[in-house]
Structure 1
C-alpha cells in the first residue's frame, strides 16, 4: 500500500510518517512530500520516497501523488485566503491519481464553527463531498504544543494571555493526532467518517495556568483580553499580524465551545489515553 503524506516537512506530517513506520509500513511504501525536500533528507536516507509538492502547482501534485493508494492531506498553512483553493488542487490531483482514500486534517466542529480557520476547513470538506471523494475528516482540536510553546513567556511575565473566557479546549499532542492519522491510513472502514478529535481532558485557559503553576512551581495566572487586544499583544510579541488575528479569532471560537469535543474518537483510534496537559507541560519544562 502506497501512502502519501503532504506537509511532511512540517511537524504533524513528519510525525505521521514516523507513526506509519512504527506501525510497520515499509519505508518504500511511504511518499513524504513538501515544498523544500531538503528538510526531509533524513527520511530519504531511511528509504522513504521523498517528492516535492507545492499546493499552488498542480503539476508538482500530479507527480507527487502518482501511484499512491492513500493520502493524508495535511491542511495548508498561510495565507489563509489561499487555503481552500490549495486544498482543491490537491484533492483534484489525488482523484486523478486514483487515490482510494483521502484523510483530511480538518478542525473541530468545522461544519458549525464561526472562526476564519473553520471556514476554510468547511469549504474543503464541502469540496470533498462535491467531488464524491472517498474521504475521512480528521477534525483536530488545538495542539497542546500551542500552549507549551507559551510557557517561557508565561514564566517571564507571570501569566498566560488569551481571549478564550471560560471556554474549554480539547487540546491533544501533535503525536496523538499523527498516530490517529496513521491508524486511519493503515486500517479499513474509515471512508465517509467524520472524527471529532481531541484530548480526553478538556481545560480552560485558567486551568492551563493552574496546571502550569503546579508543574513548574511558579505562580502563574491567566489574563483574559478582548479579541482585538489579544491580537495586538501577540503582534507586539513578534507574531505576524495575520497570524495574530487568526489566533485571536480562534480564541474567541474557543470561548464559544468550538474547540471542545467529548467524542472520545481520538482515544478510540489510538487505543490509549491521550497525552495530558500536565504531561505536556512537564516535558516542556524539562
Structure 2
C-alpha cells in the first residue's frame, strides 16, 4: 500500500527557493571590500609615517611641512575650541544650498532633455558650451554680478555641481527600456504619471551617480570660492592661516577638508549602491 507524500503545497505552504547566487555575490562584495581596505589602510599609514619622518629627520623644512603629530595636535585644539567647527559648518551650509539648487534644476531639466529629444537638440549647444566653461574661470563674473555675499558663493557652487547631475540624469533617462514606456502608455498613463512612476524610478541610479560626482565638485568649488572675498568658511580658514604663516593650522584645515570630502563621498557611494540594488529588484519584479 503506497502512501502519499506530504508536500508543502498540500499543507498550504509555499516553497521558497534560496537565492544562493545572491548570497555568494554578497559575500564576494564583502571580501572585495575587505581586500581593498587591507591594501588602502597600510598605504594611508605609510603616507602619514612619511609626513611625520620627513620634517623630523630634516629632509623637509619643518616650517613648510610640520610633522603629522604637530598637525594633529593643532587640529585637536581647533576642534576643542570650536574655532574650526564654525568654519566647517559655514562651508557645509553653502555647499548644501548650492548642491540642493543644482539637484532641483538639474534633475527636472535632465528628465525633460532625456525624454524629449527635440528639446535636447534645441538646448544642446547652449548646455555643451556652458558645461565646458570652467567654473573657476567664471568666478570673477559671479563676484562682479552678485557681489561678495553669500549669493555669489552659492551660485558658483550651483554652477559647478549642476552639469554632472544634468548629464547623468539625461543618460539615465535615455537608458530606460522603451518597453516600459510603451507598456505604461498602453495602460493609459499620463505624461506626468509616466515621469513619476516609470522614467524617474528607472533613471534614479544614474541620478544618484550624478549627485555623488556633483557633491564632490561642490565641495571643491566652495573651498575655492571661500578663498576669494569670504570672511568665514574652510577655504577662508586655510588661506588666512597661510597669509599669517600659521602653517600647522593651514595643514589642519586641509586635513579637515580631506576628511570631510571622504565622509561625504562614502555616504553617497553607499546611497548609490542602495539605488543600484533597488533597480535590480525592480527589473526582476517587472520581468
Q: Which TM-score tier does this pair reach, normalised by the shorter chain?
A: under 0.3
The structure, 1 or 2, with the larger RCO (C-alpha pairs under 8 Å, 6+ apart) is 2
More helix by share: 2
Larger radius of gyration: 2
More strand by share: 1
Q: TM-score, normalised by structure 2?
A: 0.23
